[in-house]
């Protein structure tokens, strides 16, 4: 990590027309891999697709505690109602319809988890 940070710093010093100070990251984390959760996330997507087709699994550019849980070998996924653009903001909100849809997804996923959905 330090080598990469040094390379980025050197590149920016050459590319930018102003001086700056590069500080070490105040937090680091691991990515949420499909290694332990691939089958489970496929099952979740199957439930979602039955209720509302057209969704897909995607990687996201933000951190989550699920990655740490997953690192311990526990299948972990990030799913929920609303938009990440509205999440964790001072005026966070979501539509009731989104909450009800996610409630049904959670129910169907849990009720059918042992059957492989």
- Under the banding of pLDDT at 50, 70 and 90, the label for residue 117 is low
**Domain presence at residue 7:** no
Cα–Cα distance for residue pair 33/95, rounded to 1 Å: 29
Which token pair is 37?
Answer: 């959760």
pLDDT digits (tens, 9 = 90+) for 64-99: 899 989 888 888 999 999 888 888 899 999 999 999
**Domain presence at residue 109:** yes
The number of folded domains in the chain is 1
**Domain presence at residue 11:** no
- Could you list the residue range(s) of the whole structural domain that residue 71 is in? 30-115
CATH of the domain at 89: 1.10.150
112: left (phi over 0), alpha (psi -120 to 50) or beta: alpha
Which token pair is 40?
Answer: 């489970």
Cα–Cα distance for residue pair 66/32, rounded to 1 Å: 7
**Domain presence at residue 17:** no
Tell whether pTM > 0.75. no
pLDDT digits (tens, 9 = 90+) for 8-61: 999 999 999 999 999 888 888 888 887 778 888 899 999 999 999 999 888 887
**Domain presence at residue 12:** no
Q: Are 30 and 71 in contact (CB under 8 A)?
A: yes
pLDDT computed for residue 116 by the predictor: 64
3-state class of 85 per DSSP? Answer: coil
């Amino acid at each position: 990590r330090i080598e990469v940070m040094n390379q980025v710093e050197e590149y920016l010093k050459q590319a930018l027309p102003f001086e700056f100070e590069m500080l070490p990251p105040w937090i680091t984390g691991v990515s949420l891999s499909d290694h332990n959760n691939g089958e489970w996330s496929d099952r979740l997507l199957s439930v979602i697709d039955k209720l509302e087709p057209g969704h897909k699994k995607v990687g996201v550019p933000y951190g989550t505690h699920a990655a740490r849980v997953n690192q311990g070998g526990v299948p972990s996924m990030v799913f929920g109602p609303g938009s990440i653009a509205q999440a964790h903001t001072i005026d966070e909100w979501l539509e009731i319809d989104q909450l009800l849809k996610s409630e049904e997804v959670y129910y169907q996923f849990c009720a059918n988890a042992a059957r492989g959905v």
